[in-house]
Amino acid sequence: MNKNTVLAWATFIMIIVGLGLIALGAFRYDDVAGWGFASVGIGFFAIAWVFNALKGRV
């Protein structure tokens, strides 16, 4: 497994975790905690985007 494959798997896993956090914020928690879960999920998307951009450059 080379560096690009590791970054691809990290991107995929972070997208799955981000979707899970956004789903928790949307469907499980109706108060302020839901906004926190959703914002952390969006942060996971941002980090996954950076990992995807780093593929081929590292």
Number of neighbouring beta carbons within 10 Å of residue 3: 12
**Residues 14-58: pLDDT tens digits?**
999 999 999 999 999 888 999 999 999 999 999 999 988 988 787
Whole-angstrom distance, CA of residue 37 vs CA of residue 12: 19
Radius of gyration, alpha carbons of the chain: 13
Q: How much is the pTM?
A: 0.84
Q: Which of 7, 14, 39 is nearest to 26 (CA)?
A: 39
pLDDT of residue 10 exceeding 80, the answer is yes
Asked if 25 contacts 45 with a C-beta cutoff of 8 angstroms, the reply is no
